[in-house]
Structure 1
């Protein structure tokens, strides 16, 4: 081989060695990171409640940057950082007031490539809802709703259950105190169920209140309020005693009332005393409601068959069985109305 050829081969060998050296020292590309995940438990909460976020990347010591996007906001806002533990995971609590999307990011370095993951915690308001429990047909049902915590301007729907489905009656708007009040007239005797709902928005998840049942009753002719669970009305003109519960007449009894010159008093009273087996003209039981006037049994049951039944000294006499029935239901404090 000539000297020229030897020189060429030498140069080629030197160049090849340089290339091999450069290839050996060139830095490697960063490896793809293990899958980064982010989850929320629970994923839906009532405003004010907490959820637990858990990030996992499969190795310890990973520093993850945390950011959040609340409601309708367009951009994420940094909130801090977390570091994975020995098992490659890290958990922390959040208490969002609006539906919020959370993001964790691994910045990446010479070892691991960058990675990110997101999850959303949906938040709904707690809807407080009240309605009149009992009322007479023709009166107004009062509905009260509130969003907790306060969310002025939110729109709710007042719904009624009809034919197996919920139907919207009225749209309500929460005022500056996050409350709404509406009145609707009760048309007829029934027991409808009501609720309020809030449709989902960018800021809040859909919400539903508790159901409220409104008992609409037919009115009584005496104007007895619907609230008391027990009530006595003595109708002097009809010689009748009526026992009512929540404004509804449950039982009516014939009664003997005061004779001329000893009439049964007219007015509004309350039972102040009770007697068992008083005997004589009082029969088996007595309910005292005004001074010496009472509602009691009798030892002269045939007087109940006469008309007009005006034979007592002012008390209200019942058949003994009816006096016993009434006594068992009317404690001290029961209201008694004697009407003309």
Structure 2
């Protein structure tokens, strides 16, 4: 087993917001670790293994950073390939009309610590079009390792900040 990596440097705003969000200690299976790259993908690719609830960011020297994730429940899960079109810190949340129809209690939320997208979001596009799926933080870290979302890939806030800092716009994302 590899040692967990240190947490990324947080801005004052990050530290203030994150102090307000519940912090669940992850099951060791879903903690952040540097591991051998077993994805078969070259360095610089994000791979989400949905059956394992794990996300890998492949790195040089056949290594990968592994993170635990929460995924879409069976009826809302998504698989395929995309690219990170853009990234945002403490993004605003604009739920799609289909989600509002299913759950009328949801509503648009400004960026900040109460936002369901958490500390960071990576916006996934296919062929120049928004998939409406994101890799993002969460204000429900206790759900990492489960299939509970409406399709997005949720990460602990400290982990999505780490991934956000590593990943450039244009990064290939494979969800399988």
Moved over 4 A (4+): none
* 1:77-109 deviation digits (Å, cap 9, x = unpaired): xxxxxxxxxxxxxxxxxxxxxxxxxxxxxxxxx
Aligned to 2:85: 272
Aligned to 1:160: none
Aligned to 2:120: 285
In the alignment, structure 1 residue 299 sits paired with structure 2 residue 139: yes
Hey, which of these two has a bigger chunk of helix by percent? 2
- CA separation in 2, counterparts of 1:333 and 1:281? 24
SS in 2 for 1:292: strand
- CA separation in 1, counterparts of 2:79 and 2:48? 9
How many residues get paired?
115
Asked whether the 8 Å contact 2:37–2:58 carries over to 1, the reply is: no
SS in 1 for 2:41: coil
Deviation, 1:311, is: 0.6
Question: Among residues 37, 55, 78, which one is paired with 1:241 in the alignment?
Answer: 55
Point out where structure 2 has 5 or more consecutive residues left out of the alignment: 1-35, 92-110, 126-130
- The normalised TM-score by structure 1 is 0.32
Asked whether the 8 Å contact 2:37–2:64 carries over to 1, the reply is: no
In the alignment, structure 1 residue 223 sits paired with structure 2 residue 40: yes
- CA separation in 1, counterparts of 2:59 and 2:142? 29
Change (3 A) 1:247 1:235: farther
Deviation, 1:248, is: 2.5
Asked whether the 8 Å contact 1:242–1:249 carries over to 2, the reply is: no
Asked whether the 8 Å contact 2:59–2:65 carries over to 1, the reply is: no
Asked whether the 8 Å contact 1:224–1:247 carries over to 2, the reply is: no
Question: Among residues 329, 334, 340, which one is paired with 2:171 in the alignment?
Answer: 334
Question: Among residues 61, 66, 81, which one is paired with 1:252 in the alignment?
Answer: 66
- CA separation in 2, counterparts of 1:253 and 1:220? 13
Question: Among residues 147, 156, 164, which one is paired with 1:319 in the alignment?
Answer: 156
- CA separation in 1, counterparts of 2:151 and 2:63? 24
Point out where structure 1 has 5 or more consecutive residues left out of the alignment: 1-218
Hey, which of these two has a bigger chunk of strand by percent? 1
Aligned to 2:20: none
Higher RCO, Cα 8 Å, sep 6+: 2
Q: CA RMSD in A?
A: 1.9
- CA separation in 1, counterparts of 2:63 and 2:152? 22
- The normalised TM-score by structure 2 is 0.60
Change (3 A) 1:286 1:247: farther
Change (3 A) 1:249 1:237: farther
